[in-house]
Amino acid sequence: MAKELLKGNVAIAEAAIRAGLQAYFGYPITPQTELLEWMSARMPELGRAFVQAESELGAINMVYGAACTGARVMTSSSSPGVSLMMEGISYIAGTELPAVIVDVMRGGPGLGNIAPAQADYNQIVHGGGHGDYNLLVLAPSSVQEAVDLTVLAFDLAEKYRTIVVVLLDGSLGQMMEPAELPPMKPLKTAYPEWAARGEPGDSRRVLSSIYLDPPAEEVANVRILNRWKEVEANEVRYKEYMLEDAKIAVVGFGTSGRVALSAARAARAEGIPVGLLRPVTLNPFPNKQIERLAETVDSILVVEMNAGQMLEDVLRDVKGRVPVEFFARVGGIVPLPDEILNEIRRMASQPLSTTGHPRDRWLKRMPQIMA
Amino acid sequence: MQNEIIIAGFGGQGVLFAGQLLAYAAMDEGKEVTWIPSYGPEMRGGTANCTVVIADEEIGSPLVRNPKAVLVMNLPSLDKYEPLVKEGGVLVLNSSMVPRGVARKDITVVLVPANEIAEELGDRRMANMVMLGGLLAHLEVLPVKAIEKALKDHLPARHQKLLPANIEAIQRGSKF
């Protein structure tokens, strides 16, 4: 199919539809609203379910109910709206149901603003709802990747009976890029044996997250964890740029990853051997790749649009073997390539320390960065 | 090869559409392109801008501090972007809207009375197309023909009757 110029939010919506989405439930919130708006026109036109719920709580619980039928279902929102969904997310995880959630992050905490941010990394990657569960998290950095990962999200959700979150920031939701959409997939006609379909003659199927008997809950927890171990073994995704001979490695995801690519290219043009590792799955995280980097490069720069949330995961993998530095803009500001280039230059020209915390060093530089 | 273009003005001056047209033309020419708007709680009459990056390889950052070219549609945008244009870059100024000149000597300044020309052609709202013409004449990024074709291919059906006037607006602008 030919490339079209598509806005991130619209591209994700249409990709989900073409992946066989049967029901969408949501509530408008900037910078994600175009996604819901596209669904509101397209889903009824195709005879599929679209409901604008009364709130995000309504939307996620509609997703919960619809997911019990084994249908392909999704919702989308932005940071404060996703916070409201956390209870439902935990219930869906506890009931072991496939569902897709798109989170177009904005500046926070609280009501914050509507500008791009990545400050919900911990909430999505390391939990947010209660209980022992993992969300499979995909982080696109371009409109094409957003399309491809949205399609993948539905397959992974069903394969592992898990929630898959497509996690991006407001700038990717709002920007337009050429992208190729997949062909329209026919809607599914076969359903898994656990799905409550209400077919006459079927045995009774109870889907619930309640295990009042603790040993039964323990069995469920272990089953969920074993399934997650399969995800960890099979689904780590990442992209590498110019790392073959790199002495400095930049690690960044989503938009900060692609901004870092511009900085890395500019640094290469100045003769600094720098490369980029861009995690595509944030959970499972590319731990092995980071560990390998710690053996091959002299130093690592983590770039994020939050105050160092993924940084902690990188530090855990690096284990102090090489110096790690950190750069971020927070509160809804997208870093510019020249800011990251300055950090790379600084790392290439100065002795670096492995003592102390990179976040503390960054925080000390922040008054100059913000000026 | 990469070119970055910021288009800035008041909301309602067609700033975002002019950028989208560049993006469509770049895509149709087989280039990599990103279009990103400033978005916020804004309204008609407030400031609006978008950044278009056109390149031959995978685009990293969709935002830049120092763009190769800026299309300035009003005074606040001139104040903001005049210092930021890359050395040797291009600043296209809608002289109908901006009462002052440009101090920088290290960039190409193109003064286009875009509102007057658009009004002559029948509609002030075509000032954005006149400005695009002015840009293409001074920045080797896309041929004027590519923009005209993009306009033909992507202008909504209800606006197709405006096509000849818009194409003339681009051509008039490209004479500056």
Burial B114-149 (b: 16+ CB within 10 A, else e): bbebbeebeeebbbbbbbbbbbbbbbebbebebbbb
A114-128, B24-38, B76-90, B147-161: which range is least confident on average?
B147-161
- Judged by CB atoms closer than 8 Å, whether chains meet at A176 and B34 is answered as yes
CA distance B119 to chain A (A): 30
Pick the CATH number of A4-234 from 2.60.120.10, 3.40.50.970, 1.10.8.60, 1.20.120.430: 3.40.50.970
CATH class of the domain defined by A239-370: alpha beta
Spatial separation of the C-alpha atoms in residues A34 and A124, rounded to whole Å = 22
ipTM for this model: 0.95
Q: Could you read off the pLDDT of B166-175 as tens digits, one per residue?
A: 999 999 999 9
- Judged by CB atoms closer than 8 Å, whether chains meet at A178 and B32 is answered as yes
Res. B44: pLDDT tops 70: no
The number of beta carbons lying within 10 Å of the beta carbon of residue A193 is: 8
Angle at A41 between CA A40 and CA A42, to 5 degrees: 100
Residue A359 neighbours by CB under 8 Å, 6+ apart:
A307, A308, A311, A326
Give chain A's contact residues with B (Cβ, < 8 Å).
Answer: 3, 5, 30-31, 114-115, 170-171, 174-178, 258-265, 334, 336-338
Q: Could you read off the pLDDT of A302-354 as tens digits, one per residue?
A: 999 999 999 999 999 999 999 999 999 999 999 999 999 999 999 999 999 87
Mutate to test the interface with B, among A5, A169, A333 (most CBs of B within 10 A): A5
Report DSSP letters for A278-297, one per residue. Answer: EESEEES--HHHHHHHHHH-
Q: Please give the span between the terminal C-alpha atoms of chain B, in angstroms, as a whole number.
A: 25
Please name the member of B27, B34, B58 whose beta carbon is closest to the beta carbon of A175.
B34
- Judged by CB atoms closer than 8 Å, whether chains meet at A258 and B59 is answered as yes
As annotated, the residues of chain A forming the CATH 3.40.50.920 domain(s) are 239-370
Supply the Cα-derived Rg of chain B in whole angstroms. Answer: 15
Position A1 scores a pLDDT of: 64
Q: Could you read off the pLDDT of B84-133 as tens digits, one per residue?
A: 999 999 999 999 999 899 999 999 999 999 999 999 999 999 999 999 99
Compute φ and ψ for A157, nearest 5 degrees. Answer: -60, -45
CA distance A186 to chain B (A): 29
Is cis: bond before A31, omega within 30 of 0? yes
Spatial separation of the C-alpha atoms in residues A89 and A101, rounded to whole Å = 9
Question: Starting at the edge strand that comes first in sequence, how are the strands of the sheet with A299-304 ordered?
Answer: A238-241, A274-279, A248-251, A299-304, A324-328
Is cis: bond before A178, omega within 30 of 0? no
Angle at B60 between CA B55 and CA B65, to 5 degrees: 90
CA distance B19 to chain A (A): 10
Spatial separation of the C-alpha atoms in residues A197 and A165, rounded to whole Å = 25
Task: For residue A258, list chain B residues with Cβ-Cβ distance below 8 A.
Answer: 59-62
Angle at A154 between CA A151 and CA A156, to 5 degrees: 105
Q: Could you read off the pLDDT of A201-258 as tens digits, one per residue?
A: 888 899 999 999 999 999 999 999 999 999 999 999 999 999 999 999 999 999 999 9
Domains, chain B: 2-111+136-155 (3.40.920.10)
- Judged by CB atoms closer than 8 Å, whether chains meet at B63 and A336 is answered as yes
